[in-house]
Amino acid sequence: MARTLINLPRNPKRGEVIEIRTLIQHGMETGYRPGPNGVTQQRDIIRSFTCLFNNEEVFRAELHQAIAANPFLEFSMLVTESGILAFTWSGDNGFEQTETRALTVA
Amino acid sequence: MRRAALALLLAPLIALAAAAQPQSGFELMAPETQAMQRDDTANPGMLWVQEGEALWQQSGCAGCHGDAAASMRGAAARYPVYDEARAGPIDLAGRINQCRVERQGAPALALEGEPLLALGSFVAHQSRGLPVAPPADPRLAPARAQGEALFRERRGQLNLSCAQCHDDNAGRRLAGSPIPQGHPNGYPLYRLEWQGMGSLQRRLRNCMAGVRSEPFAYGAPEYIAIETFLMSRAAGLLLETPAVRP
């Protein structure tokens, strides 16, 4: 399990636009670099990130080789009600991780 | 224009202040990188701190040391300290491994491996915000002297010493990058160039390879001597672990 950091405002108001920040530990190996033995290392990156709010997609991103290790993503969302946010990162070599956070409207 | 003129006027003053008291490499970073370090949810080093906290619980450190926030506070500010068994200074990573081998009967963690970096950053993180306070132990004097000698010794094909950049030319630029004073107040730190966490020893090896000299092996007493000297040189600076550096 990769470590993640997810930052949400604590008690947002209804109708407020909030900023969500996510950070995940991942090497993002490009597939272009030679390893210590001179052989090109296999690509191992996160390909996509999605954020669902009450099972409805609110944000999606495609990630590519040029993105740095431990990718940091920041996006905004309009808060309409309380609910559950599910963040999913998936990528090469069957990498898939989902984290959930509860969002409570003040 | 006016800003540039002001900067010119202030430059000698800033240089004077730098000579009087140590300046963290943080001050020379781009505002974006500074913001990244300041914000714990954007600082990638916090991932290692998290990992270290899990290891602290799993590997039984908490059994003796309890809550790290209390027991480990200040540790990183005084290390390297004198160790009887080694009859010399021991750094924080060395102490963690010594504790594992002698008290837990566990195998030592690989130097510069992810688990040791994680534990090291978690322990050092507990001292964030505290001033560097090297112990006044006279038994550390020989290591400090050796460290200072290494710091001032010219090395490698480029025939440069650490002091020539980090004392004589600190604050100026080497190609596009500012030269910091070279203080060890944020290690282990997340370096953007490495895209990962690294120890002070990794940083020292970088500089040594940069002047085209043969770096010492990880864990060499020379590194610990240099660290002992650097910590006395950085006395009073606030610890920033996990720092972010370009």
Q: What is the CATH number of the domain that holds A83?
A: 2.60.40.10
Q: List all residues of chain A from 32 to 51 with a beta carbon under 8 Å from chain B.
A: none
**Active site annotation includes B207:** yes
Q: What is the pLDDT of residue B183?
A: 96
Number of domains observed in the structure of chain A: 1
The token pair at B170 is 């600190």
**Mean pLDDT, to the nearest integer, of A11-21?**
93
Q: Which residue has the higher pLDDT, B17 or A73?
A: A73
**Residue type at position A54:** N
d(CA A79, nearest CA chain B) in Å: 21
Query: Does residue A39 sit within a domain?
Result: no
Nearest by CB to residue B42, choosing from A25, A69, A72, is A72
The tens digit of pLDDT for each residue in A61-101 reads 999 999 999 999 999 999 999 999 999 999 999 999 999 99
Q: Are B161 and B154 in contact (CB under 8 A)?
A: yes
d(CA A60, nearest CA chain B) in Å: 19
Q: Which residue from A98, A72, A70 is spatially nearest to B42, judged by alpha carbons? A: A72
The tens digit of pLDDT for each residue in B134-151 reads 999 999 999 999 999 999
**Residue A10 — pLDDT band, cuts 50, 70, 90?**
confident
The tens digit of pLDDT for each residue in B35-94 reads 999 999 999 999 999 999 999 999 999 999 999 999 999 999 999 999 999 999 999 999
d(CA B129, nearest CA chain A) in Å: 22
Q: Which residue from B152, B116, B121 is spatially nearest to B226, judged by alpha carbons? A: B152
Q: Across chain B, what does the average pLDDT equal?
A: 91
B133 backbone dihedrals φ, ψ, rounded to 5°: -130, 80
Distance CA B10, CA B191 (A): 30
**Residue type at position A12:** P
Distance CA A81, CA B87 (A): 63
Q: What is the pLDDT of residue B1?
A: 45
Query: Domain range spanning residue A65?
Result: 4-30+44-103
* Candidate from B15-24, B113-122, B168-177 with smallest mean pLDDT: B15-24
Chain A contact set for B40 (CB, 8 A): 5
Nearest by CB to residue A3, choosing from B42, B50, B195, is B50
Across-strand partners of A89? A49, A97
B12 backbone dihedrals φ, ψ, rounded to 5°: -65, -35
d(CA B182, nearest CA chain A) in Å: 25
Distance CA B185, CA B242 (A): 9
Query: Does residue A36 sit within a domain?
Result: no
Longest CA pairwise span in chain B (Å)? 65
Query: Does residue A48 sit within a domain?
Result: yes
Report the chain B residue with the minimal C-alpha distance to residue A28. Answer: B195
**Residue A106 — pLDDT band, cuts 50, 70, 90?**
confident
> Do B44 and A28 make contact, defined as CB atoms within 8 angstroms?
no
Query: Does residue A64 sit within a domain?
Result: yes
Q: What is the pLDDT of residue A1?
A: 82
The tens digit of pLDDT for each residue in B88-121 reads 999 999 999 999 999 999 999 999 999 999 999 9
The token pair at A48 is 């996509």
The answer, for A72 touching chain B at a CB cutoff of 8 Å, is yes
Across-strand partners of A24? A4
The tens digit of pLDDT for each residue in A30-65 reads 999 999 899 999 999 999 999 999 999 999 999 999
CATH node for B45-245 = 1.10.760.10
Chain A contact set for B196 (CB, 8 A): 27, 69-70
Query: Does residue A35 sit within a domain?
Result: no
- Chain mean position to CA B157: 26
Chain B contact set for A24 (CB, 8 A): 47
Paired sense of beta strands B173-174 and A72-78, if any: unpaired
**Residue B4 — pLDDT band, cuts 50, 70, 90?**
low
Q: What is the pLDDT of residue B2?
A: 52
B45 backbone dihedrals φ, ψ, rounded to 5°: -60, -25
% of chain B residues with pLDDT over 90? 90
The DSSP code sequence of chain A is: ---EEEE--SSPPTT-EEEEEEEE----B-S-SB-TTSSBPPPB-EEEEEEEETTEEEEEEE--TTSPSS-EEEEEEE--S-EEEEEEEEESTT-EEEEEEEE---
Q: Which residue has the higher pLDDT, B178 or B3?
A: B178
Chain A contact set for B195 (CB, 8 A): 27-28, 68-70
- What is the DSSP-derived secondary structure letter of residue B198? E
Q: Which residues of B touch A (CB under 8 A)?
A: 40-42, 44, 46-48, 50-51, 192, 195-196
- Chain mean position to CA B75: 13
Q: What is the pLDDT of residue B21?
A: 84
Element spanning B113, H or E: none
